[in-house]
């Protein structure tokens, strides 16, 4: 009943959707040249032949999908992949990193007319949904059209689990019924999905471990190293509003003991560069902006990396990393990316979107969780004054990601029989491993 009510309500809310898109556009969260895609009007023709559609919400999901896209295309030279996301940042990254025969589009907002327009144009032969970015009208229409679909790398936070049980268990059950089977990140996620009635839920390695290391321009990395010199340096990556202020406060506190300290900030959304620079100015900090080709000088307190697609450069250059989104209740970001470069990783109490990965890291002392900003200040002071203490963590982080880099193989053992049902191998539905059904 809730699904039908949602469908009817969203059909009536088209003016609200339009206003929301315009508001997001003014805030830099939509691409004006491609805004029609958000209304279900594709910007590219459908390629001929088989088309596999993969959907991930944002940057993290789209990056983790790259090895899967390569595997799909490698298995079928006539297949194409459509990747959808919902953020400008992810779209720009995918422009740089998608292989041939893979295309990016924005996912339309969940208005029934826009959903129908999108599916009528693309007519995907199979759908692979990443993690938990559920769009009820879209998934309902996929089921109605009998398009094969699976949910992979599935996760559901405790908060989401409680909310769905309280507000809409039937609606989530309806959403999940669109998937032939689900691949959960761990046993806890598996049980939560099964609690909403899905019988085919299996456990697979986290796809984020399968991603290749982020690209690094060696000349850029060397220039950055030269600019830093022998100054003690730490970086706060993928920051969100509120975390830059934390970084500024920490910098001023740490400078009492480390006068030549350099703090690097890599915001999750580079278009916030002007805002962040203004905040630094109000606190009397000397800030150099990468987007404006400002060099690091001896007077620079903060180096603001407000550019796109250069996180690999900074991970390869600055080994002491604090994860953004973990000191504000955002849920954190993916520690696998800096770990692949052997970084020393610290994060705060809000890493709930990466509970499984954090458990993996903490089990082998590959990352250091801290409780609050004071604990972070104490930890950074200790490590900056004695860098040798970072080495065991750095080695453990690198080894962990290397050991788990074959995660795509487990995932592919489920997906390949599903994508190629004529192959004489067991299907994921036939497996017993990881299933309690």
CA dist., res. 313 & res. 215, Å (int): 7
**Please, what is the end-to-end C-alpha distance for the chain in angstroms?**
27
Q: Are 137 and 111 in contact (CB under 8 A)?
A: yes
Cα dihedral: 358, 361, 367, 373 (round 10): 20
Q: Around Cβ 429, how many Cβ atoms within 10 Å?
A: 15
Q: Are 7 and 112 in contact (CB under 8 A)?
A: yes
Candidate list 61, 141, 243, 244, residue with the active-site label: 61
CA dist., res. 335 & res. 367, Å (int): 9
Question: Is 61 annotated in the active site?
Answer: yes
DSSP annotation of 169 reads H
Q: Measuring CA to CA, which residue among 351, 300, 414 is closest to residue 157?
A: 351
Query: What residues contact 388, with CB distance under 8 A and at least 6 apart?
Result: none
Strand extents, DSSP E, 107-228? 126-130, 149-154, 181-184, 201-203
CA dist., res. 274 & res. 271, Å (int): 7
Q: Are 401 and 339 in contact (CB under 8 A)?
A: yes
Angle, CA of 62, 64 and 70, to the nearest 5° = 90
Angle, CA of 92, 97 and 101, to the nearest 5° = 110
Give the three-class secondary structure for 80.
strand
Give the three-class secondary structure for 429.
helix
Burial 3-37 (b: 16+ CB within 10 A, else e): beebbeebeeeeeebeeebeeeeeeeebbeebbeb
Q: Are 213 and 341 in contact (CB under 8 A)?
A: yes
Angle, CA of 339, 93 and 131, to the nearest 5° = 65
Q: Measuring CA to CA, which residue among 274, 280, 273 is closest to residue 310?
A: 273
Catalytic residue positions? 61
């Amino acid at each position: 009943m809730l699904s039908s009510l949602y469908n009817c309500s969203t059909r009536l809310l088209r003016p609200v959707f339009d206003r929301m898109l315009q508001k997001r556009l003014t805030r830099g969260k939509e691409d004006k040249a491609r805004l029609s895609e958000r209304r279900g009007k594709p910007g590219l023709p459908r390629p001929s032949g088989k088309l596999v559609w993969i959907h991930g919400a944002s940057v993290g999901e789209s990056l983790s999908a790259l090895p899967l896209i390569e595997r799909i295309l490698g298995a079928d030279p006539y297949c194409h992949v459509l990747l959808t996301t919902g953020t400008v940042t992810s779209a720009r990254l995918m422009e740089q990193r998608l292989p041939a025969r893979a295309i990016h589009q924005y996912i339309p907002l969940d208005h029934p007319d826009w959903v129908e327009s999108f599916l009528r144009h693309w007519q995907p032969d199979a759908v692979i949904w990443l993690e938990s970015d559920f769009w009820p009208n879209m998934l309902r229409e996929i089921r109605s059209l009998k398009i094969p679909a699976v949910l992979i790398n599935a996760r559901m936070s405790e908060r989401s689990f409680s909310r769905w049980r309280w507000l809409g268990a039937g609606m989530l059950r309806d959403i999940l019924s669109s998937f032939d089977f689900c691949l959960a990140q761990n046993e806890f996620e598996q049980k939560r999905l099964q609690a909403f009635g899905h019988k085919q839920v299996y456990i697979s390695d986290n796809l984020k471990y399968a991603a290749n290391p982020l690209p690094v321009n060696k000349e850029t990395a060397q220039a950055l190293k030269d600019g830093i010199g022998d100054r003690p340096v730490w970086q706060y990556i993928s920051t969100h509003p509120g975390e830059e202020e934390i970084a500024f406060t920490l910098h001023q506190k740490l400078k009492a003991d480390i006068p030549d300290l350099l703090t690097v900030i890599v915001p999750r959304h580079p278009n916030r560069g002007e805002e962040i620079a203004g905040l630094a100015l109000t606190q009397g900090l000397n800030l150099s902006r990468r987007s404006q080709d400002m060099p690091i000088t001896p007077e620079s307190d903060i180096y603001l990396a407000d550019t796109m697609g250069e996180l690999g450069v900074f991970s390869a250059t600055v080994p002491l990393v604090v994860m953004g989104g973990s000191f504000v209740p955002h849920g954190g970001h993916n520690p696998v990316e800096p770990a692949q470069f052997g970084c020393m990783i610290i994060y705060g109490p809000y890493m709930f979107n990466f509970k499984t990965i954090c458990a993996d890291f903490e089990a082998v002392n590959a990352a250091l969780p801290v409780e609050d900003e004071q604990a972070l200040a104490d930890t950074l002071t200790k490590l900056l004054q004695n860098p040798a203490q970072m080495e065991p963590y750095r080695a453990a982080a690198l080894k962990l990601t290397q050991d788990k880099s074959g995660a795509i193989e487990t995932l592919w053992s489920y997906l390949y029989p599903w994508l190629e049902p004529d192959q004489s191998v067991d299907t994921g539905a036939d497996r017993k491993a990881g299933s309690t059904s």
